[in-house]
Structure 1
Amino acid sequence: MTQIDWYMQLNLKARHLRLITALYDHGNLKQVAEISHVTVPAVSKALAELEKGLGLELFSRTAQGLRPTAYGECLVRHARTLMTEIHQARDELKSLSSGAEGKVHVGAFPAATSVLLPQAIALLKQRSPRTNVLVTEGIAQTLLPELWQGRVDIVVGRLPVRNATDGFDEKELLDEPVSLMIRNQHPLARKKRLKWSDLQPYPWVLPPTGTILRAPLERTLEQHGVALPNNYVETLSTSLARAYLLVTDAIAVMAGAVAHDAAQPLKILPLTFPHVMRPRGVLWNKNRGLTPGAELMVQCLEEAATAMKLRPATPVSDQDT
């Protein structure tokens, strides 16, 4: 058994993991001492003992503070994963001891929170009322690192391009076409024959620049001789886009399922939009097993998606008046 084997198996403690991540984040003994409520010599001594035990220099001391060595970078990366696992175990134990049956942390892209995810959560709660759900809304750039590090169990929404999903398993749920939508009272809803040029006078709700849908939308408008609107709102929030459409004559580009709301349905314009995005689905880290709660959530997402596929579309047809 090497010195590293011996120390990692017998002497490495959770307090060591907290120490090196704090030193990595702050790079300053004094700041770490303050947040840890100990003295600077105590922090320095703890780091020296850890480095001596491993026989490795984890941080180099410079005039600007502590800088992680390659050994420090490696250990901090794994320390974060271990601390996440410890916190998840703590949360599960607390949930079980309080009578809950588990907890699932779901990361959701904005469009998934409007229809698919609420219905899946309702199914989960019907089957396991004491399995609790924490939903964090975000975009791929923020949620995929959280999924990789184990801070969320699954991510639901439009599946990212494949090279962004390396290290993850995925399940396709809905392959919805992207559509142009308006409110039922919109002037375009009364047109018997609709042309792309008819869209020109109206305001828009656009996906922000740099998002998956923005460039294909701009290309499509250009191909049909429609100038990019100069009267628009940019958002990824489906709920905001829906609400804005219902009180204005704006046009929005969104997935078809957003139109299906019994209380306040939207109209889908009969203009062909190219298939530019991957299906909606669910992602999880292939290196981690799904918890029972996460497995149940995936099952409920599949059932909710199946139910959504069976709903009829409500496009504006040539017969609409």
Structure 2
Amino acid sequence: MSWTQGLLSRGLKLSHLQMMAAFAETGLIGVAASRLGISQPAASRLLSEIEVILGAPVRSRSGRGVVLTEAGRLLAGRAERVLQELAEAAREMSEVTGGGVGRVRIGAVTAPALDLVLPALRTARLSHPKISAEVVVAASDILCDQLLAGRLDFVIGRVPAGVDAGQFDGEVIAPEPVALVVRRGHRLAEVPPQRLAEVLEFDWVMPGEDSPLARAVLGRLAELGLPRPNQRLSTASFLLTLAMLQQSNVVAPLAQAVADQFAAGPGAPLVQVEGAFGITVAPYSLLTRKGARLTAAAETVLGLIRLAF
């Protein structure tokens, strides 16, 4: 008899898995009980039943209250995966019974959101009008957290430093060239610089040093033996960066795809600084949860995105 069959034959139920997942997430039995819509005594009873089924404790008392044991943490992790898969199954069944109606949840960093996701969704509106989409544009660490939590179907971004890449199935897409952008009327827009050192005469605005964009910029400057740019403002906010560009003489490094959208053409308020500066961010990838199966709607939209690779 397999371990799975053994646990089921001993009485392991969905309610036990829900309790383990809720307790692991909240860290408090009372809060977990409230989330599940049951009383605290009922929640404690579920934990006691789990311990009988496993033949091992799943909780222990500490100075901070009740915490999960190693066995409890292992079961809670599996419980979260089972509940994610059941949620995906319910969504797929809804799509099938709804006559092909589907919803896809996409995460992307800014450049591929504009370059890949947006064109695919424009196509999907015509070719698959019953598919709807939710798009989250954010930094890769936020997107990967949401992907692992089951809140996104797939992500176009990068596995953050320090995160186990083995949790994902990945497909490298492309590196990300960077353009330098200023407001129209800026001196660098009127007289293109001959060297990158000339651009360093102005204040720069870009994300913090732990971002892929900042690392690419600082790495390129170091390669050329140039100092760090003056940077009185550090922000990951794209809207704040655009506002600063329009209202001051700052220089902002932006992904080329973003610069092409907001700093191209005679009517654009922003201008790309002419010059081959050789700044390139590490490649972004298509990421899914390890071993996860995409829904029909997600597969359809992903197929349209792949056409633009």
Mapping for residues 174-213 of structure 1, pairs under 5 Å = 174-191=174-191, 194-213=194-213
- What residue number does 2:255 align with? 255
Q: Retained in 2: the 8 A contact 1:207–1:214? A: yes
- How high is the TM-score relative to the length of structure 1? 0.79
Query: Is the CA contact (8 Å cut-off) linking 1:175 and 1:279 kept in structure 2?
Result: yes
Look up the match of 1:235. 235
Structure 1 residues 127 and 26, CA gap change in structure 2 (3 angstroms): same
Kindly indicate whether residue 296 of structure 2 is the aligned counterpart of residue 292 of structure 1.
Answer: yes
1:27-80 CA deviation, whole Å, 9 max, x = no partner? 443343444443333222222122212322211245643221221111100111
Select which of 264, 275, 289 maps to 1:270: 275
> CA-to-partner distance for each residue in 1:137-158, whole Å, 9 max, x for gaps?
3323232243344332111135
The amino acid of 1:273's aligned partner reads: G
C-alpha separation between the residues in 2 aligned to 1:150 and 1:36?
Answer: 19
Q: What is the rounded CA distance, in whole Å, between the counterparts of 1:93 and 1:2 in structure 2?
A: 28
Matched letter for residue 132 of structure 1: S
Structure 1 residue aligned with 2:307, among 295, 303, 306? 303
Cα contact 1:114–1:239 (8 A) shared by 2: no
Partner residue of 1:310? Answer: none
Shift in Å at residue 191 of structure 1?
1.2
The residue identity in structure 1 corresponding to 2:230 is P
Distance 1:52 1:153, change over 3 A: same
Distance 1:152 1:166 in 2: 18
Equivalent-residue separation in structure 2 for 1:39 and 1:286 (angstroms): 35
Q: CA distance change for structure 1 residues 61 and 218 in 2, over 3 Å: closer, same or farther? A: closer
Deviation at 1:90, TM superposition (A): 2.5
Question: What amino acid maps onto 1:272 in structure 2?
Answer: F
Distance change in 2, residues 1:194/1:79 (3 Å): same
The CA RMSD over aligned residues, in Å, is 3.1
Task: Give the TM-score, by structure 2 length.
Answer: 0.82
> Aligned partner of 2:120: which letter?
A
**Cα gap change, 1:218/1:26 in structure 2, threshold over 3 Å: closer, same or farther?**
closer
Name the residue aligned to 1:312. Answer: none
Q: Deviations over 1:280-300 (max 9, x none)?
A: 332223412232222222222
Change beyond 3 A, Cα 1:125–1:183: same
Distance change >3 Å, CA 68–CA 295, structure 1 → 2:
same
Residue equivalent to 1:103: 103
Which deviates the most, 154-163 or 16-25? 154-163
Rounded to whole Å, the distance in 1 between the matches of 2:7 and 2:228 is: 66
Alignment of 1:154-193 (within 5 A): 154-157=154-157, 165-191=165-191
Deviations 1:261-298 (Å, cap 9, x if unpaired)?
Answer: 366363243042344x3223322234122322222222
Aligned mates of 1:64, 1:167 — CA distance in 2: 30
Unaligned runs of 5+ in 2: none
The amino acid that maps onto 2:139 is I
Distance between the aligned counterparts of 2:284 and 2:88, measured in 1? 27
CA contact (8 A) 1:256 1:268 kept: no
Q: 1:280 aligns with which of 284, 292, 297?
A: 284
Deviations 1:157-202 (A, max 9, x none): 3576798533433334343422222244322122155333432442
Structure 1 residue 93 corresponds to structure 2 residue 98: no
Amino acid at match of 1:92: E
Kindly state the Cα deviation for residue 135 of structure 1 after the two structures are TM-superposed.
1.8
Is the partner of 1:270 in helix, strand or coil?
Answer: coil
Rounded Cα–Cα distance in structure 2 between residues aligned with 1:54 and 1:202: 65
For the residues of structure 2 that align with 1:27 and 1:6, how far apart are their CA atoms? 28
Q: Percent identity?
A: 26
Alpha-carbon offset, residue 243 of structure 1: 4.8
- Aligned twin of 1:13: 13
How many residue pairs match? The answer is 303
